[in-house]
Amino acid sequence: MFKKILLISVMALSLFGGEIHWLNDTQKASDEAQKALKPIFFVIKDKNGSFIQAIEKDKAIVQKINKFFIPVAVDPKKGIIPRSLYKPSVPSLWFLLPNTMPMYRQEYFNGHASVEMLPKVIDIVIGDFAQMLQEAKYATMPYKLNVDFPYYTSLDEAKQHAKKEKKPIFMLVGSMQCKYCRALKKGTLADKEILSMLKNNYIVMVLDAKNGVPQQYHTPGIPAMWILDAKGASLTDQPLVGNLPKQMVLQTLKEVEHKKGK
């Protein structure tokens, strides 16, 4: 008797494990997605539900959908479909942001043929959404250097110290939203030789691009490294732009030091 009950329980758990926890309310799904910081797995159902049945046949897919998404299945005749979905066909599958805007310009899938592609694409979407969350986090973070010496974030203040100490200004313009800016400060601008030269021979200033860049220091891209005099004029023909290698930055710093010594 005990074995029979145990067998029934295992079968029930197995059945439950093969089901996706679908919602049928788009607004509720959006609320949950924003709270959980998950994308929405949005299915517009066909009449007999065969598309959903095909998806739920793969237990690994079911587990990933339940874990990484807020799944929604909507009957186009009864439920609310986000206006952001342009002329969706039935059945179809969309990956939405928590605010119900599409993650991509067009839906990845449309109909039963897409099911076989689902395992690979789900992993892509999970990775893309994680990257989006990280980029959103970067947007709130200030751009700064991790160094053991003080630097300035005000050009006026940097000019004052440059005039007083008779040193040129090394001005770094960047943003945490820029992957090349992040790479530069973790790579080239973390080099001991460069840091030693900046610490001893320059007034260092970091300008966060998201707070605005003065017109005279605009460049085609960031990160940008300017070498300025105490009046804010450039001491080089042009700024260094991009995630440049150590030797290129080091050479420019040494050239400025050489000119200064004459």
Q: Looking at residues 39-64, what average pLDDT do you find?
A: 90
The tokens describing 30, both together, are 């959006």
Coil, strand or helix at 109:
strand
What type of residue is 180? Y
What type of residue is 89? S
Q: Rounded to an integer, what distance in angstroms lies between the CA atom of residue 39 and that of residue 32? A: 10
Q: Count Cβ atoms below 10 Å from residue 164 Cβ, excluding itself.
A: 10
pLDDT digit string, tens, across residues 164-184: 999 999 999 999 999 999 999
Q: Rounded to an integer, what distance in angstroms lies between the CA atom of residue 68 and that of residue 103? A: 15
Angle at CA of residue 174, ends 156 and 131, nearest 5°: 150
Band of the pLDDT at 114, cuts 50, 70, 90?
low
pLDDT value at 262 more than 60? no
Domains in the chain, start-ordered, CATH in brackets?
Answer: 15-139 (3.40.30.10), 155-261 (3.40.30.10)
207 bridge partner residues: 173
| Tokens 């804010």 found at | 232
Q: Looking at residues 84-102, what average pLDDT do you find?
A: 85
Share of the chain above pLDDT 70, in %: 87
pLDDT value at 80 more than 90? no
Instruction: Indicate the pTM of the whole model.
Output: 0.68
DSSP alpha helix (H) spans, the chain: 2-17, 26-36, 50-55, 59-68, 118-139, 155-165, 179-186, 192-201, 246-261
Q: Which residue has the higher pLDDT, 48 or 194?
A: 194
pLDDT value at 70 more than 50? yes
